[in-house]
Structure 1
Amino acid sequence: NYETCKEYGIHFYPTVRFFRAFTKQFTTGENYKGADRELQTVRQMMVDFLQNHSQESRPPACPPLDPVSSSDVTSLFDKKAPHYTAVVVESNNSYIGREVILDLIQYENIAVKRALNFDKSFLEKLGITSVPSCYLMHPNGSHGLVNSLKPLRSVFSSYLKSLPGVRRNFFHPLKIKPWKEFDKSKLYMADLESGLHYLFRVELATHKMLEGAELKTFKDFVTISAKLFPGRQPVVKLLETLQEWLVSLPLDKIPYDAILDLVNNKMRISGIFLTKRMEWVGCQGSRPELRGYTCSLWKLFHTLTVQAALRPTALINTGLEDNPRIVLEVMLRYIQHFFGCKACAQHFEEMAKESMDSVQTLDKAVLWLWEKHNVVNNRLAGDLTEDPKFPKVQWPTPDLCPACHEEIKGLHSWNEAQVLQFMKHHYDSENILYKYTESQTDSSDTELKDAREEKDKSLLEKPGGNRENVVLNQELIRDSESKLFNKLLGNHGPAKDSSKSAFESVNHQESRQSVIFLGIGFSNIDMSLCVVLYVASSLFLMIMYFFFRMRSKRWKVKYYRPSV
């Protein structure tokens, strides 16, 4: 849903937004600003929001949450109905009845209502001595109090769902991807590339315009990735092209759509590519919502810290080479500005404030991130986000690195020298497997090109085919490829003074000409000069050809000797 999140400006997860039914004008919804984000608090607040809808604007599928009267309940006695009717009797400040109603909204052959405990004679008639209680009316007309249930929402809902004939009225089966067997001692490029895809096309998409600290963070992240990422050549070339393009832009803010156009290779640059799907291998979870991107982001930054230590000269001439903490600092800033989990960002920032300044070497940066990752694992052990198939443990485990573990006076201790050696081996390019990346080919460009060529061919082959349509299509293609620069250079705010419009127009044209053509090194002026030189050289060759041709004819006439 990242396109929707982008449109509605949702930057962090989870975010709760309310949208009133039948709203005619576009709205980004109402933000939840409750006292806390505990599950029960949020759930009750959502119930209140639904119940406070006026009757005129209540969606047809939304069940009534207001309590029914005692007479309405007794009128149903001894009457046959095509479904069960359950009545939850509760106090005025209880939410159980309304929550059970919403729990059963997707189930057929049952209707759930709620009644309040104000009428004592009504309670005596039903045999209710304590609330909340559940009173059930069967389709055959029989009815009675369900005595064996604990007064809990989950118990009521589970019991009613288990009644004969009660079933969910629709079901959308989830597409479960087949499990991929993997070697946990190896690093998989599919995880790293899928993480980059999510980062560029999903997480970054919620920021429509990058400027200030966000733009600086993104530029630094792309720079260290372009220099340190040990990926396949097409991915590395994409990162390098993006880095050169960002460095060359004389702008203090960049629209995200322009970045996305380059990542998606709208300019048809040969040899660059980044997968457009997530293919988790070492980061796959037992359920779709577990592990995945967060796992790959850890792996990505571990890889970058190790590569910085293994190749200390890689960042020379980038302006980042003199800082041994640069990868950690970029990671911290990225998490602060872009990472969707706000609570996670706060925890990481607190850890960074405690000890990141003590990192003075590239090797220490590797160990610092390893240590803090284990701190996070320890904090999240047993959390709802933990994958039961991959419990949060201290890593590397003894089976991966026996030498990393020691015991001093009966207490576990880490051998950091061995840990560093293990990290440099595990996140080295030699330990990366490219299995499951073979199918990650970006065929969309090829398919689009083939379809376009087929269409042009069919137009040309028609007896009355309109060749102008082909030319027009090609012009539109060239125009679409230039939209990237139009986004960047088209309009950066209204003119403050009409007298300056001509001057600003000239500056605009000059800035447009000075922009490097996607970081390849050729500006518009360079391309124009190339065309002029090409035409001039062609004319020169043609003139020389005709000159020597005429001279050859004159020579033949002058020395012609007719035979006798």
Structure 2
Amino acid sequence: MSSPRCVGIFAIMVMVVRLSILTSASVIPTGLGGGPVSPELGLYDLNDKVTVLTVNNFNDTVLHQNRSLLVEFYNTFCGHCQRYAPHYKELAERLYPWRETLLVAAIDCNAFENTGICRDYEIFAYPTLRYFSPGYMCKEGNYGQFVKPNVKVDDLAANMAQRLVAENGTDSLPNFPNLHSVTENEEKNLFEGLDSNRKLVILAYEPENTTVGLESVLNFHLWPDVQVRRITDLNVANKFQIDGIHYKIATVDRQGNVVPYSVKEDTPQAYVATIQSILEAQHFKPRSVEVKKGVANTAQVPDDETGRTAIISEVLRNKHFVYQADLEMAIRQMLFNEIPKVHEIHGEQLLALQRILGVLQRYHPLGPQGNEVIRRLHEYVLNANESVNGGDFQTMLEHLNKTLGPIFSSNHFVGCVSSQHNKRGYTCSLWTIFHYLTVQAARLEISNDPLEVLTAIHGYVKYFFGCTHCSEHFQAMATRRKIWNVPSKDEAVLWLWAAHNEVNNRLAGDDTEDPQFAKIQFPSESSCHQCRRSDQSKTDVNWDKDAVLSFLKNIHNPGFVSRYGIDNEAVLQPSLDKLRQKRRVGNVFSEMDMRMGMLLYGFCVIMMVVAFKLFAIKGYRKRPYMHDALGKV
């Protein structure tokens, strides 16, 4: 029988071995530098002249104001929005002197917190520009005036000037400039009603079909020493020595002295430069007006650069890997942002929602909780009579996510990480989840419909995807590539792969391309040598489609999806590696326990023999017998 001390030592030894094995097996590198990578910031920051709007300051900035407002509703990942951003920044810079009359602002509809605002204002395309008049109040059917997002800043500035002059009741608004043209009745006393600090009145002749006078007034509204007025009537202008040919600007002081000035050309820039030189020569300066630039979403702080660098290094080493984090980020964006932005989902749009949720329910990469959430969402939209409200969908989703527990294992991109601000991200992850879904449909054969996933993808991109131009390109490509004629699920996998490569070819070298992740024809030679035939030309790749199909099925196999960088693996199904490790650790434990038991048994037997010899045999002595008459006693 073994002693309690021997059993205690044995138990400690087993525990130490088990802990060492479990510890070494559970170390999963995150590549995050100690923290998760946060979502991307918007296209504008506090260094731009664009006022950043969020749900926290939108109403205070837009509603019941004594000035007008131009707002861009955009999506960070939208390629057209990214291309338009420099033009909008240029416009904001140019109109910055107008800020007391017209504020230039923007709101990122890609931020989850702003989803409700973009839904309430019925934003259906990106970028969308809306003009809000002074005193604007939000009500049904009035969500601001649509403005075409013109890339020609001159035209857009002229548009804004014309809208401002057309405002009703501008004279009753405090601090609003006088945009009316000087009349004959005013020519005798231009200073009537002006503050005594006004030392000069500057008159700017505005030729027909131009806004040079309007823009001059707006540009110098913040200069307290002067009043800039426009003149459209050449007869009135002549009385101030303005001939409309050589002299087009004149200054008038309180003593009635008139000084005419020439302007090189009839452009707002030339007028503004001339007037500014006049004012600076007399040492006049504008008064300062502070504009609240807004506060960026606190959840959207810059990524930890060390963590980002580690992720990029990992991804560049494994360019063909599919990452769990990216699949989840695509689903997160679809469910929590894109779908809820639609105010009323009905008709073909509702059918598209039912299809994409049905496909996600069958082939998603989430864990048990995620499966239940998507199942209930699918059931919710299937039971809808005629329509689903985007806000109600969001409320239902948030309730399910809260009651059923977390459904995502990460909140950042890994394989779709960007090396530069606002590159890749969601669009990359959306392609990833689309490929994953087509492969799962081909692998599992749950449905016999070869167009099951492609139909769902087409409907989602058409009705919900937040990049309008991208959606239009995809729909045109789908028609041209005859998406509805795909005969099998394997062909569906290849159709989407070929379509993706076409998009990569179109966008290669574009401003939206990430410099460290060039848009190539996938898979690359290094990722799949057998996918490319040796007789390929320099321009077109001669693909071995059988090898490509095998490659795509392999990298999108759930057992091979990389979990590098995830934060909470507990919400997922156990990976193949975990299952193998569990079996392996179980085998190690049983073999080790058996060996230790045999060792302990042998050790205890030896100890018992030694104890017997030391004590039992040593204590036995041959005693002398006493004799008597009868013999031995």
Match of 2:452 among 317, 321, 326: 326
**Contact 2:187-2:236 at 8 Å conserved across structures:** no
- Which residue of the other structure, out of 345, 364, 381, is the alignment partner of 1:229? 364
Distance in 1, Cα, partners of 2:549 & 2:454: 16
Query: 1:547 maps to which residue?
Result: none
Deviation of 1:382 (Å): 6.4
Unmatched runs of 5 consecutive residues or more in structure 2:
1-113, 253-258, 572-633
Structure 2 residue aligned with 1:53, among 161, 167, 185? Answer: 167
2:435 alignment counterpart: 302
Structure 1 residue 376 corresponds to structure 2 residue 503 = yes
CA 330–277 in structure 1, closer or farther in 2 if over 3 Å, else same: same
- Alignment of 1:206 with 2:341, yes or no, is yes
**How many positions carry a matched residue from both structures?**
425
Secondary structure of 2:403's partner?
coil
User: Over aligned residue pairs, what C-alpha RMSD do you find?
Assistant: 5.2
Identity of aligned residues (%): 21
Once the two structures are superposed, residues 376-414 of structure 1 have per-residue CA deviations (whole angstroms, 9 ceiling, x without a partner) of 344455666x25647873433747647356664553324
CA shift for structure 1 position 338: 2.1
2:394 aligns with: 260
**Alignment counterpart, residue 413 of structure 1, candidates 500, 524, 541:** 541
1:273 aligns with 2:407: yes
TM-score (norm 2): 0.53
- What amino acid does structure 1 have at the position aligned with 2:552? M
Q: 1:261 to 1:413 in 2, by over 3 A?
A: same
The structural deviation recorded for 1:52 is 0.8
| Farther-moved stretch of structure 1 (404-413 vs 218-227) | 404-413
Q: Residue deviations 1:272-305, cap 9 Å, x none?
A: 53589776872547344x5443333223212222
Q: Secondary structure at the match of 1:415?
A: coil
Q: Which structure 2 residues correspond to residues 279-294 of structure 1 after superposition, within 5 A?
A: 282-284=416-418, 286-288=420-422, 291-294=424-427
Tell me which amino acid in the other structure corresponds to 1:438.
Answer: D
Q: Which letter maps to 1:357?
A: W
Does structure 2 conserve the Cα–Cα contact (< 8 Å) formed by 1:237 and 1:271? no
Q: Tell me, what secondary structure is at the counterpart of 1:412?
A: coil
Q: Report the AA paired with residue 293 of structure 2.
A: H
Counterpart pick for 2:302 among 169, 172, 177: 177
Conserved? CA contact 1:96–1:152, under 8 Å: yes
Indicate the residue corresponding to 2:123 in structure 1.
Answer: 10
- Aligned partner of 1:95 in structure 2 is 211
> Structure 1 residues 20, 121: closer, same or farther in 2, change over 3 A?
closer
Where structure 1 has 5 or more consecutive residues not aligned to the other structure, the ranges are: 138-142, 443-564
Matched, 1:366 2:481: no
Closer/same/farther in 2, CA of residues 84 and 238 from structure 1, 3 Å limit: farther
Which structure is higher in RCO with an 8 Å CA cutoff and minimum separation 6? 2
**How far is 1:53 from its partner?**
0.6
Q: How does 1:376-415 map to 2 (within 5 A)?
A: 376-380=503-507, 386-387=512-513, 389=515, 393-396=519-522, 398=524, 401=527, 403=529, 408=536, 410-415=538-543
Alignment partners' CA distance in 2, 1:219 and 1:280: 29
Partners of 1:398 and 1:216 lie apart in 2 by 37
Do the aligned partners of residues 353 and 410 (structure 1) sit closer, same or farther apart at CA in structure 2, a change above 3 Å counting?
A: closer
Q: Does the aligned pair in 2 maintain the 1:285–1:387 contact within 8 Å?
A: no
The 8 Å contact of residues 188 and 435 in structure 1, kept in 2 or not, is answered as: yes
Equivalent residue, structure 2, for 1:349: 475
Task: Output the CA distance in 1 between the equivalents of 2:490 and 2:159.
Answer: 49
Q: 2:440 corresponds to which letter in structure 1?
A: Q
Query: What is the identity, as a one-letter code, of the residue corresponding to 1:300?
Result: I
